[in-house]
Structure 1
Amino acid sequence: MESKARKYLTIIALGLAGGSIYFIPYVKYVFYDAQLAAMGINNTQSGLLLTMYTIGNMVLYIPGGYLADKVSTKKALIISLVATSVLTWVYAFSLNFVVSMIIWLGLSFSTAFVFWSALMKAVRIVGTEEEQGFMYGLYYACNGIAAALTSFISLYAYNTAGEDIKSGFVRGVNASGVVVLIAAICLVFLMKEDAGKVTTESDDDKISLPMVGKVLKSPVVWILSIVILCGYGLKSSVSYFNPYLTEVVGVSAVNSGIFSIINNYLLLLLAPVGGILADKVFKSTCKWLSVSFVILAVLFGGVLLIPSDISPMVASIYTLLPGAVTMMMYGVVFSSVSEAGISRTMTGTVIGISSIIGYLPDSIYSVIFGKWLDNKGAAGYTNIFIFLVASGIVGAVLAFWIYRHGKRAQHDA
């Protein structure tokens, strides 16, 4: 196979791997109601599964990155994918809540321990240094398409069971495990064996204790972390449109699942648009973040004003608007690090700390929102959307603060 063709096919395979492996940890994004019914759990327990996964991720994030530099990238990816498939099928066989808690912890090992760092490393290795932007852009496009494809395949498998929710859910889960295994097989034949022997990170990119001590004293790091938390919190909360459409609007589970797939995966293709707006229109990542946060606050607030007699299709289409803006906002949120006036030598440390704080919504929001829904039923969505409006306002104010801080730092320099 020609080197150029193999390069692009490898990126596609990596996109399939990254797009399919996270389906089960975040299965509620597509099968929220079906998962609750099949497992016999409530909203709070559903949130606890994601909390277990997130805690595991936070603990394994740094050691996994270190190990990814010490082992074969190809083997790390393939083993992680195969392990995820096995855990997926064990979950489908059991559907027991206690067993699932253990499985979700296991998924943090198979999808976040070495896998994430190895995946990002693999994308860089495939392309030359002169084409890194294009390679990562192509990867994320393939990732979004692969994630949507995995979800559609699982949704189709679910629908083959008719009215039997549990059987349909099991079929959907098993189907996703097959897709993950196919991704592993593709990497076996496409990825070069010696890829993992290449060192891709400089010393400046690695987190050290002295650097951690320095950045922990910087207020801008904590402000930046909260901005990322607000951004990721809004992005992850888009998944609640799935149960909202079924419980409040009256959309069927299948149609709600389709809109959920579009919101959570296909709209990821709009991420480069956010980058263009930040670079070419606003000339500032943080200015674009401030504007997009305000737009999102208005759009999430608009959900509270949707009349009860609105057409289910119109309501479903409306949910795509905050989903689209969220993807355009979240795609550039980490690039605000450079605009904050943080030196390049501390970038790796800042991103590491900000990631740990920024991804807390997976463990916190899901439990809080679950309790609201368990205690208040459909009325709990009012609390959720008010909370998201407030998050958008906080994100807008803090992103603009970072913009001003960066300007002052440039002036002082």
Structure 2
Amino acid sequence: MTWRDLTRARRWGLLMLVSAGSSIIFYIPSLRRVFPDQMMDALGLNNEQVGILMAAYGITSMICYVPSGILADKVRMRTLSWVGYIATAVLLYVYALLPSFGVLMVLMIGLGVTTILIWWGTRLKLVRLLFDESEYPSRIGWSYLFFALGGLLVGNVIATLLLNHTGTDTAGHQAFLRYLLLSVATIILVMGVLAFLFIPRFDNEFDPNAKRLSLSEFVAALKNPAVVWASLTMLFSYFAYTSITYTTQWLQIGAIGVGAVMIANIGNVRSYGMGVFSGPIAGAITKRVGSTSKVVMGGFALAVVGLLTFVLLPWNTSMAVPFIVLTLALGFVCTGVFYVTTGQLTEARVPTQTFGAAAGIVSLVGFLPDTFRDIWFGRMIDQANLADGGNTGDAFRTIWWIVIAACVLGAFCAFMMLRVCARTGLPHRVEDDVDGRAVGDAFGVPHSPLDRQHVAALLVARED
């Protein structure tokens, strides 16, 4: 069976299923980004312990990244999709019991396996299988729109309703987290059933001539200075992009005092809503400027200005609204920088024969912050709480200085990429990036929060 054998309604229905599902399935593993205080109180954890849970998921994801691509080339999309959905739902039902820290560690590792190793490889490949190749650029754009809507449904509708109907004490936070987990698990379970019933067995799922990456290609890629600087630029851009999520906790400290429901809406709009616009706008700017690295440098400069505003302006309740606006603006800038960073490999004309290896290196290096960021920042916040009785202002001020340093280093790496391009004597052509296939998404349509998996997929898709 091919896409021509499917009705239009079925193809679009499956597009919505896999796209919305790809934000909902990752919502709970990233819960700290929106509901850190509720999560800690309900589970009886501190910031560092939550950071350890996030790191457990991040490390598992890193380990599962490469084999997930191999699995996607060996197993039917239908099987990976429904098994990934249902296995994730089962783990979330166990999570809803609000178990001990040890059990939570096992659950986070398990979620890394079900969401990354099993499920992750299905989304972009399934979108390609559902439509003619010439339709892919526009359909992947619709896919990211459904992605954002799925995240907003869970975050701004379900979570907000639960916040409004549960208390603010520990019992209320436990009720909130339990019902949120049960709601998300049930939605994912239903998606698993729909995937089992409606995703067909496509005739062209497996490419018998698919090329596997070799060790020599990785060595050749590592010797390319463009790959080194692109990897470091990705690392700092991803570090800044994900560190901005700590504005959720910062805005709630007593000096600023933004309420829980407002914080939830800010977190979800920052994570999902901003991406709907930042990706296309950053793409349009990149196309006009003609250089990914120049746009990345400009984005980092704007981020530094915004973060300095956080550090230097007085922290009081009268500044709550300006800080909320700045938080959303900073989320917009950092999201745009993160997604256009994926175009640096084509900017430097990395050879096709080593592009896949280069993409893998950029992904592995770029997403390393997931293995240490939350433990590091969580420990800082906990130590500040112990030192000053709960006023964590000093910890966040230090965090913002760290992120400023990351932005400066990221801008330096982007500048070095420009020098590499100048030395090669190969001027960058934006049309090479926006070539009508998946890499074009890196400039025109990728606007999801999540993050690591989708950017890696865009990079790898470039060699297809």
**Normalising by structure 1, what TM-score?**
0.94
1:25 aligns with 2:32: no
Report the alpha carbon displacement of residue 201 of structure 1 after superposing the two structures with TM.
9.4
1:285 aligns with 2:292: yes
Aligned to 1:299: 306
Report the alpha carbon displacement of residue 273 of structure 1 after superposing the two structures with TM.
1.4
Report the alpha carbon displacement of residue 222 of structure 1 after superposing the two structures with TM.
2.0
Aligned to 2:160: 155
Report the alpha carbon displacement of residue 154 of structure 1 after superposing the two structures with TM.
2.8
1:409 aligns with 2:424: yes
Does the aligned pair in 2 maintain the 1:32–1:243 contact within 8 Å? yes
Query: In 1, distance between residues paired with 2:426 and 2:93?
Result: 57
Query: In 1, distance between residues paired with 2:69 and 2:164?
Result: 39
Aligned residue among 225, 231, 234 for 1:228: 234
Query: In 1, distance between residues paired with 2:155 and 2:190?
Result: 15
Does the aligned pair in 2 maintain the 1:341–1:409 contact within 8 Å? no
Aligned to 1:198: 205
Q: How does 1:4-43 map to 2 (within 5 A)?
A: 4-43=8-47
Does the aligned pair in 2 maintain the 1:287–1:399 contact within 8 Å? yes
Q: How does 1:312-331 map to 2 (within 5 A)?
A: 312-331=320-339
Does the aligned pair in 1 maintain the 2:226–2:345 contact within 8 Å? no
Shift in alpha-carbon separation, 1:158–1:88, aligned structure 2, 3 A: farther
- Aligned pair count reads 410
Aligned to 1:355: 363
Aligned residue among 217, 223, 242 for 2:223: 217
Shift in alpha-carbon separation, 1:190–1:412, aligned structure 2, 3 A: closer
Shift in alpha-carbon separation, 1:200–1:264, aligned structure 2, 3 A: farther
Shift in alpha-carbon separation, 1:411–1:284, aligned structure 2, 3 A: closer
1:60 aligns with 2:64: yes
Report the alpha carbon displacement of residue 203 of structure 1 after superposing the two structures with TM.
4.0
The alignment yields a C-alpha RMSD, in angstroms, of 2.0
Aligned residue among 126, 143, 147 for 1:143: 147
Does the aligned pair in 1 maintain the 2:274–2:331 contact within 8 Å? yes
Report the alpha carbon displacement of residue 189 of structure 1 after superposing the two structures with TM.
4.2
1:101 aligns with 2:137: no
Aligned to 1:130: 134
Shift in alpha-carbon separation, 1:2–1:192, aligned structure 2, 3 A: closer
Aligned to 2:125: 121
Does the aligned pair in 1 maintain the 2:21–2:191 contact within 8 Å? yes
Aligned residue among 392, 397, 420 for 1:382: 397
Aligned to 1:240: 246
Does the aligned pair in 2 maintain the 1:250–1:312 contact within 8 Å? yes
Identical positions, percent:
25
1:207 aligns with 2:222: no
Query: In 1, distance between residues paired with 2:280 and 2:119?
Result: 24
Shift in alpha-carbon separation, 1:353–1:272, aligned structure 2, 3 A: same
1:168 aligns with 2:183: no
Shift in alpha-carbon separation, 1:356–1:154, aligned structure 2, 3 A: same
Query: In 1, distance between residues paired with 2:162 and 2:11?
Result: 32
Query: In 1, distance between residues paired with 2:273 and 2:266?
Result: 10
Deviations 1:228-254 (A, max 9, x none): 111111111121111111125111112
1:332 aligns with 2:309: no
Report the alpha carbon displacement of residue 115 of structure 1 after superposing the two structures with TM.
1.5
Structure 2 segments unaligned to the other structure (5+ residues): 386-391, 429-464
Does the aligned pair in 1 maintain the 2:42–2:98 contact within 8 Å? no
Deviations 1:83-138 (A, max 9, x none): 11111110111331110000000001111113212222112212222122112221
Query: In 1, distance between residues paired with 2:195 and 2:326?
Result: 39
Query: In 1, distance between residues paired with 2:209 and 2:398?
Result: 45
Query: In 2, distance between residues paired with 1:326 and 1:184?
Result: 33
Shift in alpha-carbon separation, 1:26–1:349, aligned structure 2, 3 A: same
Name the SS of the counterpart of 1:193 in structure 2.
coil
Query: In 1, distance between residues paired with 2:384 and 2:408?
Result: 25
**Normalising by structure 2, what TM-score?**
0.84
Report the alpha carbon displacement of residue 337 of structure 1 after superposing the two structures with TM.
1.1
Does the aligned pair in 2 maintain the 1:289–1:333 contact within 8 Å? yes
